[in-house]
Structure 1
Amino acid sequence: MTSKIETFARYHIPGNPLVLFNIWDAGSAKAVAEAGAQAIATGSYGVAEAQGFKDGEAFTLDLALTNLARIVGVTDLPVTLDMESGYGATAEEVGRSVAAAHAAGAVGINLEDRMPGQTELTPVAEQARRIAAAAASGIFVNARCDVFRGKAADSHGPELVEQVLERARAYAGAGANGLFVPFTTNRACIAAICERSPLPVNIIWTPASAGGFSSRDELAELGVARISHGHRPWAAAMDWLSAAAKTVLSGNAPPYDG
C-alpha cells in the first residue's frame, strides 16, 4: 500500500510542478483542501503571526505540533510542515524534533540552512548532518538553500548557481528529497539549477507585479517540480480582513454577502 509520504514524493515532477498554497491553521487548511489541493503545506511566517508570534522559531515546537495535529485532523491530504531550522541546536535535536512532527502526522518538512536570527549559512557539512538526522525519520525532507538570500538581483548568476548545486549534492547525499531555492526570480538561474540538481526543485511564487512570474506554466517550462506561496496567502487574507474591518467600522456596508 502506498504511503502518504510516497504519494507526496510522487507529486514532485519536474515540468509538472506540485502547487502548494500555504496555510496557517486548521480552518485555512480546510479551505485550501476544498479548493482542490493535492497537498497541504504550512508556512512558518503565517503560522507564527496568526498566533501572535514572530517568525524564527519563536513559535515553539510544542505549539507548532499542536497546530499540526489540528491541521491533520481536518484533512486526509498529505501535510508538510515548515520547521524553519529544525528546532534543534544539534543534529540530534533536529532528529528528535522531526521525528515528533512525523509522529504528529506530517509527511514532509522544510528545513532551512540558516539558524534562527542568523544571516550566515550553516556550513555544508554541518547542515548535511542536520538533514541526515531529519531524513532518518522517513519523512520527506525539503532542504531549503538560502544562497540567494540578501544578494542583489544583478548578482544572481553562475557563481551563486554553483554554490546552490554544491549544497544540493551534499543535501541529496544526506537523504534530502527536495531542494527549496527561495529569493530568486532569475529564469536562467532557476533553469540551470533545475537541470543540474540531483533533487526536484521548489521555487516560491512571486507575482509578475513584483518582478516574478506570469503563470505556473512559466515555472514548469524551467523544470520546476514544486511551487509554494510562502507567507503571501496569509498576508493577502490579513490585508482583506483589515480593509473590510475599516469599511464596516466606518459605517459602510460589509464587502461581502450573507
Structure 2
Amino acid sequence: MRETNAPQSAAVNAFRALHESGCFILPNPWDEGSAVYLKHLGFRALATTSAGFAYTKGLPDEVRAVPRDVMLSHLRDIVAATSLPVNADFQAGYAHEPEGVAENVGLCIATGVAGLSIEDATGDRAEPLYESRLAVNLALSRGGVSEA
C-alpha cells in the first residue's frame, strides 16, 4: 500500500463508500474551474477526462500529445481545486510493460487522486488492444486488483 496523506485517505474512503452504496454519477471536469463548479452543483466525486483536458489545449487525446508529466500536473491541479474524491483518467498508464505502468501509477497516486482508470488501448492501429493476459498482468502489478 502506498502512503497517502490525511485528505487523500479521506477522499479514498469517501470514494470507496460511494462505490459500496451503489450507483452514482461521476462527472468529468476538464480544468480547475469546472471541478469547482461541479462540486457546487452537488456532485460527490469527480473523474478527470483525458480527452476534455487535451481538447482544451487544442491537442488530440493521445499520450504523445499529453505526456505523463503534463497529465500528472493536471491531476494535481484538479485534486487541489476541490475536496471531492477524484478518479484519474490515466490513459494506458504511460507504459507498455507492467513494471512501468506500476511505477507510473505510483506517481499518479502521489497527485492525491482517490482512484484511477487504466485503458486497454495500445495506441497501435495494428493491435489496438493489449492482449487479455498482459492486461491482467498490468492490473495485478498495481496491487489490490483481483483477477475476477
TM-score, normalisation: structure 1: 0.50
| Paired positions, count | 139
**In the alignment, does 2:88 pair up with 1:114?**
no
Counterpart CA distance in 2 for 1:113 and 1:68 is 20
Q: 1:133 Cα deviation (Å)?
A: 2.3
Counterpart CA distance in 2 for 1:99 and 1:120 is 25
**In the alignment, does 2:74 pair up with 1:67?**
yes
1:47 corresponds to which letter in structure 2?
A: F
> What fraction of aligned residue pairs are identical, expressed as a percent?
29
Selected match of 1:97 from 101, 104, 122: 104
1:172 corresponds to which letter in structure 2?
A: S
**In the alignment, does 2:30 pair up with 1:24?**
yes
Counterpart CA distance in 1 for 2:128 and 2:81 is 38
Q: 1:117 Cα deviation (Å)?
A: 4.2
1:110 corresponds to which letter in structure 2?
A: S
Which ranges in structure 2 are unaligned for 5 or more consecutive residues?
1-5
Counterpart CA distance in 2 for 1:68 and 1:124 is 28
The structure with the largest strand share of the pair is 1
Counterpart CA distance in 2 for 1:65 and 1:97 is 10
Matches within 5 A, 1:241-252: none
Aligned equivalent of 1:244: none
TM-score, normalisation: structure 2: 0.84
User: Would you say the 8 A contact 2:11–2:83 is kept in 1?
Assistant: no
Q: Secondary structure in 1 aligned to 2:54?
A: helix
Counterpart CA distance in 1 for 2:11 and 2:81 is 16
Q: Secondary structure in 2 aligned to 1:132?
A: helix
Which ranges in structure 1 are unaligned for 5 or more consecutive residues?
139-170, 174-197, 199-258
User: Would you say the 8 A contact 1:22–1:40 is kept in 2?
Assistant: yes
CA RMSD in angstroms, aligned pairs only: 2.0
Counterpart CA distance in 1 for 2:138 and 2:13 is 22
Q: 1:13 Cα deviation (Å)?
A: 4.4
2:111 corresponds to which letter in structure 1?
A: A
Q: 1:117 to 1:24 in 2, by over 3 A?
A: farther
Counterpart CA distance in 2 for 1:132 and 1:5 is 20
Selected match of 2:94 from 60, 63, 87: 87
Selected match of 2:139 from 131, 134, 137: 131
Aligned equivalent of 2:17: 10
